[in-house]
Structure 1
Amino acid sequence: MASSRSFALTEDWVVVVLGLATIFLALSGIFAPVPNFSWSNSSELTSTIFDSANLNKIFQQFIFVFVTGILGAFLLGKSVKYLLVVFPVVFILTVFALILAGNSTVKEYNLEAVIFSLIIGLVISNCFKLPAWFKEALSTELYVKIGLILLGTTVIFGDILKAGSLGLIQALAVVLSVWYFAFWLCKKLKIDKEMSLMLSSAVSICGVSAAIATSGAIKGDSKKLSYVISLVLITAIPMMIFMPYMAEWMGLSQEVTGAWLGGSIDTTGAVVASGSLVGEEALKISTIVKFSQNVLLGLAAFAISIYWTYAKSVDDETKRDKPTLKIIWERFPKFVLGFVFASLLFSFVISPEKIDVVKGSLKNLQGLWFTLAFTSIGLETNFKDLFVQDNKKPLYAFLIAQTFNVVVTLLIALVLFR
């Protein structure tokens, strides 16, 4: 029992060390190359993805994350022997998911690599009986949190200043109103707090990234996280396709339409695709608004971490004895500090020229760690655990909150951008 508690207390610090080490290595000139996974037909697949130069980049990236994974297992006292077998298998499956997601047709439907990696893992775990040592070597939490710290390098506060005051005002108004409404709705429907926090963040801030960040901050159930992400990705597709036509039917200007799309569609890829259907000005405004919401992710993760840590501490203590600052600090997810540090570092310390050099590699690694995590989630999960929801209330709450999001964002966009 003591060892598991020690693991829980030290894991976040290990993640901070590994995440920041990756960042500082990149800034010093040591970073993983960015492979190409984009293709549209079989001949392009062979000539581009399986080209020797591209395969070499994939191999270098594998060595980079493999060494990081081994170091993480060593620092956490986990078996490195099993990881030597398990990690390469997870990586190969993840690369397969990235190739599927790189197809031009798949990209049009905004189906991200995480959903393919999850499905691949689920199929394998449900068709074959994986040994216990294999599942024990999976480090889902480690992969997610390293990815989150790297995500901090993309949350640049300077982007808000470039975006302008209207984009920031809308982002703040939408995030605060939609988050509070979604959380209030979940409470009324008696949905547990874990699911409520993940769902509220996903629908109000920036979809998949917000759900993952919130889950990491509260040490959330990976099955609940997968369920919320599935809802985000599934609802983004019809919104991406139909909202531009609804805007045209209502006679909205490109500015209002862009603000509406950027504030209500949960994934950045879907926002860009939808804005492109309307026009250049709509694309510009929608990207600005979504950028502003994405920047708020760091502040939201920090606030949620403090709320969750305090709430859990209150639940564990007697009503007469309030939790001390020491207890709150012990239970506070330290990786959030790494996330915020990375964001502040890239916002105010690192030069734009240096950021341009390393941002591609770090963003690519961030996506790779998330995809590795969802391959791992699939490999340790049964279909019935992920998709069979006896309680349909989270689905209803998400759909109602998303509808509220669409209406409120439209009203705010009309006021600010008309």
Structure 2
Amino acid sequence: MSSSTTKFTLHEDWTVVILGSLIIVLAIAGLLVPVPAFGWTSGAELTSKVLGANNLIKILTQFVFVLIIGGVGALIIGKSIRNYILGFPLVYLITIIALILTGSGQAKALNLEAVIFSLLLGLIISNFFKLPDWLKNSLSTELFVKVGLVLLGTSVIFTDILKAGSLGLIQALLVVTSVWYFAFWVCKKLKVDDEIAMMISSAVSICGVSAAIATAGAIKGDSKKLSYVISMVLITAIPMMIFMPIIANYFHFSQEVTGAWLGGSIDTTGAVVASGTLVGEAALKISTIVKFSQNVLLGLAAFAISIYWTYTKHPSAKDKDTKPTLGVIWERFPKFVLGFIGASLLFSFVVGPSTITAVKDSLKSLQGLWFALAFTSIGLETNFADLFNENSKKPLYAFLIAQTFNIFVTLGIAWILF
């Protein structure tokens, strides 16, 4: 008679739903993780504000909280707790450095996001130092990304979007649909890898980084391919943020048209806000509405993409020549999407405004931290050669063509609607 016991484990997606829900419930119950300050414009402010005792305590508190939550996740999905506890402090330290760099006045002026610094620092370390296998095995990239996505759902408030204006929603639907299909068509014409094609299509048409991450989760995409797509999004967002307001001013576009154009074309929310601010108050408001309207579609898009991917690309071995059944689709469906949608519905229709106001800063800070941790991990497990090689040219061409199409189509729709 065997004395061996089977270790209980749970699928990573269900684990993420549990962890994300736990964080949200704790916040609503009053357990708010403090929000550290990372903004600084001088060495003195860096020392006194960011590296001051009170702020370091907040950073340490976040560290302990995320260490525990991530440790529970590692335990549930069957990863080595020892390796996680040894590796996580390094990932967290690198991520904090990235957040501090992001908080500098120069980075804020360019509206650079934390994920780009996290990714770059991770890449630099992984390419100049040989990392031990136990450290690489301790990285929980997908867990970090998906917990961040569940928390992202708390900021997608349907009622706010509906109050802000129906035109923004109409534009979002038209832009997302037309640009997504065009981008996917271009990728197929250029024979781009299916996974990258899906990520590019979502990133260009919906909301950049978040959409690429959600799509990668929905299709269980390779993190190195995700890293490449994110690099393209972040690199192109900066010139678009700077030159689109200049073009709008040169051709005397109204602030409403300009705002709708910026919100629908620029892939990152931060860059949208920065470019809208350069134009004026009305442009800032409209650009934010349009971008938030596109963000609302993120969960629905991830849901549709996951079903499409399972139904057309991944038939089971025994059903290679037939379409998967609903049972197979459900089995392979990324359950973290349900966490995102559930969080959005909860904060849209159940949680009261006063509670949302009380918890939003803490949850927003944690959401950004989970994403930054994920990109630090991606950097640590990726080589530059994997990102920029001969095979990366076609995806880059496809991305640039799709982005150009996005700019002109969005301008046309904005001109008609606004």
Aligned mates of 2:140, 2:130 — CA distance in 1: 19
Aligned mates of 1:160, 1:347 — CA distance in 2: 10
2:348 corresponding residue in structure 1: 347
CA distances 1:293-344 after superposition (whole Å, capped 9, x unpaired): 1111111111111111212343745465431221111111111111111111
* Structure 1 SS opposite 2:308: helix
Aligned mates of 2:88, 2:12 — CA distance in 1: 18
Q: Match of 2:303, as an amino acid?
A: F
1:307 corresponding residue in structure 2: 308
1:336 aligns with 2:337: yes
- Please identify, of 148-157 and 107-116, the stretch whose mean Cα deviation from structure 2 is larger: 107-116
How far off is 1:388 after superposition?
Answer: 2.3
Aligned mates of 1:113, 1:47 — CA distance in 2: 21
1:119 aligns with 2:116: no
1:164 corresponding residue in structure 2: 165
Mapping for residues 167-186 of structure 1, pairs under 5 Å: 167-186=168-187
1:57 corresponding residue in structure 2: 58
How far off is 1:358 after superposition?
Answer: 0.7
Could you tell me the percent identity over the aligned residues?
70
* Structure 1 SS opposite 2:47: helix
Question: Does structure 2 retain, via aligned residues, the 8 Å contact 1:227–1:386?
Answer: yes
TM-score (norm 1): 0.96
1:262 aligns with 2:263: yes
* Structure 1 SS opposite 2:238: helix
Aligned mates of 1:7, 1:364 — CA distance in 2: 32
* Structure 2 SS opposite 1:129: coil
Aligned mates of 2:321, 2:196 — CA distance in 1: 29
Question: Does structure 1 retain, via aligned residues, the 8 Å contact 2:263–2:286?
Answer: yes
Question: How many residues end up aligned between the 2 structures?
Answer: 412
Question: Does structure 1 retain, via aligned residues, the 8 Å contact 2:9–2:77?
Answer: no
- Please identify, of 309-318 and 252-261, the stretch whose mean Cα deviation from structure 2 is larger: 309-318
1:371 corresponding residue in structure 2: 372
* Structure 1 SS opposite 2:58: helix
Aligned mates of 1:58, 1:74 — CA distance in 2: 24
Question: Does structure 1 retain, via aligned residues, the 8 Å contact 2:10–2:77?
Answer: no
Question: Does structure 2 retain, via aligned residues, the 8 Å contact 1:163–1:289?
Answer: no
1:290 corresponding residue in structure 2: 291
Question: Does structure 2 retain, via aligned residues, the 8 Å contact 1:313–1:328?
Answer: no
Aligned mates of 1:185, 1:288 — CA distance in 2: 28
C-alpha RMSD of the superposition: 1.5
The 1:298/1:374 distance shift into structure 2, 3 A limit, reads: same
Q: Match of 1:166, as an amino acid?
A: L
Q: Match of 1:69, as an amino acid?
A: G
Q: Match of 2:327, as an amino acid?
A: K
* Structure 2 SS opposite 1:33: coil
The 1:319/1:97 distance shift into structure 2, 3 A limit, reads: closer
Aligned mates of 1:228, 1:317 — CA distance in 2: 33
2:278 corresponding residue in structure 1: 277
* Structure 1 SS opposite 2:391: coil
Q: Match of 1:39, as an amino acid?
A: W
CA distances 1:349-403 after superposition (whole Å, capped 9, x unpaired): 1111111111111111111011111111111122211222434111011111111
How far off is 1:206 after superposition?
Answer: 0.6
Aligned mates of 1:391, 1:258 — CA distance in 2: 33
Q: Match of 2:366, as an amino acid?
A: L
Aligned mates of 2:322, 2:195 — CA distance in 1: 24
Aligned mates of 1:410, 1:247 — CA distance in 2: 10
How far off is 1:202 after superposition?
Answer: 0.4
Question: Does structure 1 retain, via aligned residues, the 8 Å contact 2:9–2:78?
Answer: no
The 1:317/1:155 distance shift into structure 2, 3 A limit, reads: farther
1:3 corresponding residue in structure 2: none
1:24 corresponding residue in structure 2: 25
How far off is 1:13 after superposition?
Answer: 1.0
CA distances 1:202-237 after superposition (whole Å, capped 9, x unpaired): 001111111111111111111111111111111111
CA distances 1:71-125 after superposition (whole Å, capped 9, x unpaired): 1111122211122211111101100000001112111212211111111111111
Question: Does structure 1 retain, via aligned residues, the 8 Å contact 2:10–2:76?
Answer: no
Any stretches of 5+ residues in structure 1 without a counterpart? 1-5
How far off is 1:241 after superposition?
Answer: 0.7
* Structure 2 SS opposite 1:314: coil
The 1:235/1:320 distance shift into structure 2, 3 A limit, reads: closer
Any stretches of 5+ residues in structure 2 without a counterpart? 1-6
How far off is 1:132 after superposition?
Answer: 0.8
Q: Match of 1:63, as an amino acid?
A: V
1:388 corresponding residue in structure 2: 389
Aligned mates of 1:84, 1:203 — CA distance in 2: 37
Q: Match of 2:243, as an amino acid?
A: F
How far off is 1:163 after superposition?
Answer: 1.7
1:229 corresponding residue in structure 2: 230
The 1:310/1:304 distance shift into structure 2, 3 A limit, reads: same
The 1:132/1:7 distance shift into structure 2, 3 A limit, reads: farther
Mapping for residues 184-223 of structure 1, pairs under 5 Å: 184-223=185-224
Mapping for residues 94-105 of structure 1, pairs under 5 Å: 94-105=95-106
Question: Does structure 2 retain, via aligned residues, the 8 Å contact 1:150–1:366?
Answer: yes
How far off is 1:251 after superposition?
Answer: 1.4
